[in-house]
Amino acid sequence: MSEVYFIAANEGVPLLDKLEILLERAAGVNLNGIVALKMHMGERDNKTFVKPVYIKKLVEVMKQHGGDPFVTDTTTIYKEARYTAMDYYRTAFAHGFLPSYLGCPVIIADGLKDDGVQVNEQVEIAKSIYESDAMLLVSHATGHSASSFGGAIKNVAMGCVTKKTKRYQHDVTRPVRDPELCTECDRCIEVCKHNAIREDHELIPENCIGCGSCISECTSGALRSPEGMSEKLQKRLAEVAHAVLRNLPYSTFLFLNFLIDITPFCDCAEYTPEYLSPDIGVLASNDIVAVDLATIEMIGTQVFEGDPTIQLREAHKLGLGELDYKIVKI
């Protein structure tokens, strides 16, 4: 049975003041050498990403215990404000992730040109994450429009890899089109930033990154998500997370899930003042499956769209972690 450490929100003492003890208890702070503090620093119009004040504290504690951390993430496959490393640096700095404030470097892990280390046919790990000595994975627990839930498994699978591997996972989210329902309004063509829709409104699969923007625009229902998308995507997330964690040249990981500002969508989405649950706290474990399962169960499985546990059960089957856990409250 895996242990999942927990500090509660809204119990008088601010979470910030309890983070140090959480890290010390959960990791024994054995995060030594160069530590990749992997997180999502928020898309341009998102406001609910994990805030720099928490990251600064985690950096401070790791440094006190001999670690040499840097804050990191990878670029996106969709064309917004984190599409290139240069875009991402601008967005990260605008969100307050400044090296001078955090006390450590901020490094976009797939470099200026999508730089990765190939570990199997489909999976390339972002170079700077591969070259670290340990990882502290900070995940913001949210719902997700395609994968039902986003936590630690999704953060590893989608966040620690190059564009090629993100694309492999998104292959299963490409829309399907029913020409009978199409009113030829052209909205899908206008919204697609990847030239993936022809003039006759047929999709060009090799250009499509499965972002779903065209589906949101298509009011006639001609474009929709493919059958079984969530299950297929969640299984790919587990497969890629497994490939990443088993092929990194180190095995010191700590998974920290922030159950605060729990939105229905991930931090790639624009801010909407909607929450799935009040703030709960922060969970930490060396077991990625246990920390995600505890997260879902604390939030409430029923609030997610679809079954959020497919990715965890798949990851468990692949040997990434346990479905039995006990909460150790700090």
**Binding stretches for ligand SF4 (CB under 6 A):** 175, 177, 182-188, 191-192, 194, 196-197, 201, 203, 208-214, 217-218, 220, 222-223
Q: Beta strands of 9-105 (E only): which ranges?
A: 33-38, 67-73
Minimal distance, residue 201 CB to ligand SF4, in Å: 5
- Between residues 140 and 187, which has the closer beta carbon with respect to ligand SF4? 187
Minimal distance, residue 230 CB to ligand SF4, in Å: 16
- Between residues 65 and 224, which has the closer beta carbon with respect to ligand SF4? 224
Dihedral in degrees, nearest 10, Cα atoms 247, 249, 250, 254: -40
Minimal distance, residue 111 CB to ligand SF4, in Å: 24
Cα–Cα distance, 245 to 234 (Å, whole number): 16
Minimal distance, residue 219 CB to ligand SF4, in Å: 7
- Between residues 40 and 201, which has the closer beta carbon with respect to ligand SF4? 201
Minimal distance, residue 75 CB to ligand SF4, in Å: 16
Could you tell me which residues come within 8 angstroms of residue 13 by beta carbon, excluding any fewer than 6 positions away?
none
Give the DSSP per-residue string, 75-87.
Answer: --SSSSTTSSHHH
Cα–Cα distance, 309 to 300 (Å, whole number): 11
Minimal distance, residue 144 CB to ligand SF4, in Å: 16
- Between residues 11 and 184, which has the closer beta carbon with respect to ligand SF4? 184
- 3 state SS for 215-255: HHHCCCCCEECCCCHHHHHHHHHHHHHHHHHHHCCCCCEEE
- Between residues 19 and 196, which has the closer beta carbon with respect to ligand SF4? 196
- Between residues 184 and 297, which has the closer beta carbon with respect to ligand SF4? 184
Neighbours of 34 (CB within 10 A): 16
Minimal distance, residue 207 CB to ligand SF4, in Å: 7
- Between residues 71 and 197, which has the closer beta carbon with respect to ligand SF4? 197
The C-alpha angle with vertex 236 and arms to 235 and 238, in degrees rounded to 5, equals: 65
Minimal distance, residue 268 CB to ligand SF4, in Å: 13
CB of 69 within 8 A of CB of 136?
yes
Cα–Cα distance, 106 to 113 (Å, whole number): 17
What is the layout of strands, in order, in the sheet containing 2-8?
106-108, 67-73, 33-38, 134-140, 253-259, 281-285, 2-8, 325-329
Cα–Cα distance, 270 to 69 (Å, whole number): 29
- Between residues 68 and 87, which has the closer beta carbon with respect to ligand SF4? 87
Could you tell me which residues come within 8 angstroms of residue 47 by beta carbon, excluding any fewer than 6 positions away?
271
- Between residues 155 and 213, which has the closer beta carbon with respect to ligand SF4? 213
- Structure tokens of 24? 């010390």
Minimal distance, residue 182 CB to ligand SF4, in Å: 3
